[in-house]
Amino acid sequence: MRTGLKLAALAVLVATTASAPMIVPAAAPAAAGPAFSSIGPLAFGPGGVLYAADRQAATIFALELGKLSAGGAPGTATVDDLGQKIAALLGTAPGEIAITDLAVHPTSRNSFIAVMRGTGADAKPALLRIDGAGKIDLLSLDGVRFTSVALPNPAAPTTGRGGRAQSVTDLAFTNGRLYVAGLSNEEFASKLWSVAYPFASADRGTSVEIYHGNHGQLETRSPVMTFLPLSIDKQPHLIGGYTCTPLVKFPVASLKPGEKVVGTTIAELGAGNQPLDMISYQKGGQQYLLMSNSRHGVMKIPTASFGSASAITARVGGTGGVAFEKVASLTGVEQLDTLDANRAVAIAKAADGKLQLAAVALP
């Protein structure tokens, strides 16, 4: 199989009841490896465990990568014309691949990239690793130890916007738990789920509602598109970015299974836009978010005022709330992750449509 991901040796049954998601036990035969039908988003946790979402199956895999964690050289080197090189490795054309996420390993600093090869129902998943020499490896997951958990009540199995394509929109690991954003098939569809690791079960999820300033209304069906954990006034929060483009904070303590929570909208970052990725970092004694966007470029957002920011509860034309600045030096950025204290790894699309992966200075 060209992608190197074993798709037939193990059938993962997706249990979608509200209270009984199925767990694939750690004792699953090591030779089988995980069976992905799709791949992306990605997130690393402690010990280098890679969490990978299978959106079509509405399932999260925890992969113990072992020797796959590192390539020949530590770090991540620049790769020009990334799309062409990945396509050649997978035996296809650049237009036939879609990069679904990027995650940097916490110790090797190699970059792991989730890719779908092909389109529609024929698309196949692949996982690649790029090392400090710029070498791209297609990873076979045969024999990789794993566990998995199916999300309860996922979005309906359609491929369009709002279906399984958004059953999982982002992942983040913090304080022993994996948080998952996406859509359910419930009336209040936008969800944040929480799963303790090692996996036991996914909770029923918290339905999350927001006030969308550009739309002038409360919304329950728009999913969190990208999010990250952040401490605000010494309390754990999740900060979420939504399409068109509210920035919202959720206290982790409020995210209780089966309940409905209204997040606090602290910024409107511009209409007609989708947030693509987001990281946090420290510079000059201050903390910032760096957010890449489909239309409004890359934004640098100071976090110091997040605790005291007034909630946006009335219509906003354009932008409002917490201040931000656009980073003119970063254009076309589609994926981001932290490389080290001073740099991020970014996948950016140039004017000619070619992709480049490179380490970039944090602004």
DSSP letter at 341 equals S
Instruction: Give me the chain's average pLDDT, please.
Output: 90
* In the chain, domain spans: 1-203, 205-327
DSSP letter at 49 equals P
Sheet of 319-321, strands arranged across: 226-232, 235-241, 246-251, 264-269, 319-321
Q: CA torsion 76→81→82→86, rounded to 10°?
A: -130
Query: Are the C-beta atoms of 130 and 357 separated by less than 8 Å?
Result: yes
Query: What share of the chain has pLDDT > 90, as a percent?
Result: 83
pLDDT at 50: 98
In order along its 363 residues, the chain shows pLDDT tens digits of 333 443 333 333 233 333 333 334 444 444 578 999 999 999 999 999 999 999 999 999 999 999 999 888 999 999 999 999 999 999 999 999 999 999 999 999 999 999 999 988 889 999 999 999 999 999 999 999 999 999 998 888 765 556 788 999 999 999 999 999 999 999 899 999 999 999 988 999 999 999 999 999 999 999 999 999 999 999 999 999 999 999 999 999 999 999 999 999 999 999 999 999 999 999 999 999 999 999 999 999 999 999 999 999 999 989 999 999 999 999 999 999 999 999 999 999 999 999 999 999 999
Q: Which of 111, 109, 117 is nearest to 83 (CA)?
A: 117
pLDDT at 71: 87
Q: Which of 56, 135, 66 is nearest to 100 (CA)?
A: 56
What predicted TM-score, i.e. pTM, was given to this entire model?
0.90
Could you give the CA distance from residue 289 to residue 280 in angstroms, rounded to a whole number?
4
Could you give the CA distance from residue 344 to residue 74 in angstroms, rounded to a whole number?
15
Could you give the CA distance from residue 290 to residue 325 in angstroms, rounded to a whole number?
10
**How many residues are there in the chain?**
363
The residue type at 300: K
pLDDT in tens, 290-346: 999 999 999 999 999 999 999 999 999 899 999 999 999 999 999 999 999 999 999
Could you give the CA distance from residue 252 to residue 164 in angstroms, rounded to a whole number?
25
Could you give the CA distance from residue 253 to residue 127 in angstroms, rounded to a whole number?
34
